[in-house]
Structure 1
Amino acid sequence: MRVTKAGVVLLAAAWIVPLGLLVITPMKSFGEYAASSQWSLPHDPLHLFGNIKTAWNSAGLGPGFLASLSYGLVGAVVAIFCGALGAYAITRLEIRGRFWWFLLVFSGTLFPFQMYLIPLFQMYTDTGLYDTWVGMALFYSAIATPFCLFVLRGFFSTVAREVEEAARLDGASSWAVLWRILMPLARGPIAVLVLFQFTWIWNDFMFGLVLSTSDGIRPVMPSLVGLQGQSSSAGPPVIMAGALIGSLPTIALFLALGRYLLSGLTLTTAGRQA
């Protein structure tokens, strides 16, 4: 038991120490950072606001933050909507070869994402979607849909058909069964999907770098890398302030939805085993 507790403490320290640096460093001026140890506490924590302002206005980080926020929200909502429609069709409607339809959609997650870069880039340049908000939102929605379909299919298959039959006896349509019965029951898995898909979209670097170039279109992670290059003269405090800005939405989302995480994962696991 003591060994287990010691391991948990060490693991927690491994996560907390970098977060401590992420908070302490932006509170220092460049001169204070250069003249003191990186572990020393800041003399004037109000430098944090100046560093955040500098980072926000540099390398398109501010517009990139807002762009990623919109991509994460739209991508997660659209992917869950499409995944719910597909999961309901596969588990509840009499569709020929419905399992093969599921495999066809889910197979998109089985290959390395790098395989999609060249054909996706060529398609976007040919259709005018390159470096557009619509193009980026469509991509993030599409790439997040298979996992949403997988999770919701597993959950819907655990819901007793008697519930649906009772609703149909009361005159409920297929649409009403999905949105008034199944979706409210799936609050836990949906919360997990929002958390996972938003976090993936927010942290994406590769596709954001390849499919966009303009401020306001390019996501926050490529902009954060650009901040490191353009703001090297400002030093680590500004760069770490940018990293702090980039980490806030996912932390806030986890705090808001964390209570659903365990229950959602439990329901999802049960759905996969059913």
Structure 2
Amino acid sequence: MLEISNLHAEVEGKPILKGLTLTVGAGEIHAIMGPNGAGKSTLSYVLAGRAGYEVTGGSVTFMGADLLAMAPHERAAAGVFLGMQYPVEIPGVSNLLFLRTALNAQRTARGEPEASGAEFMKLAKAAAEQLGLPYEMMKRSVNQGFSGGEKKRNEMVQMRVLSPRLAVLDETDSGLDIDALRVVSDGINAMRAPDRATLLITHYQRLLDYVVPDHIHVLMDGRIVHSGGADLAHKLEAEGYSAIAA
């Protein structure tokens, strides 16, 4: 589903990704772990097409298409979803309006009919209930006044409604207490399907107790330096990244 080959990228002239290669198959969950400054968030932003992240070499293919040739909105319409480490607040724009506009924009780009008001409300209510987000919060401005955990739950509601083919989740576990972590993890697991894939970026093993990945990759200095199964996270927790670097 996702093929990244020898990817190089820089920010303000500084090289961050330095030959990253990764393959993510349909139905799979891959976790990316690594120390601060390794390039984990840069990878997520490059995949989403964020401005200021310049690709200087390599290729990214998503479902047979050149992902790097697409504008950000085209990537979203193709099924790429970015869960941000720090979800932004959008004062004056309700969650419901934001989400319905995003859903219908993607459907229109794919040549699909827009969701009716009744269909959308059913989707939004079901997603909010599953993620433990009070429906009244869906009527408030996007993330405004939300706690860190509520912002992450809200982001999972968005993912549930938009139903992406590839979810790139940048430190979704950041700032979550144990109860919120379980709820968010359940939301990620519920999205697992043969025609979807997930790329989890995390610092900590605790998320991977709830969302068990098919593969774990260690990213250091802009490259994947080691890959393994779910037990690799426990090794990193116990021994640190120095064990891999050695």
* TM-score tier (shorter): under 0.3
More helix by share: 1
Which has the higher relative contact order, 1 or 2, with Cα contacts under 8 A spaced 6 or more apart?
A: 1
* TM-score relative to the length of structure 1: 0.22
Larger Rg: 1
More strand by share: 2
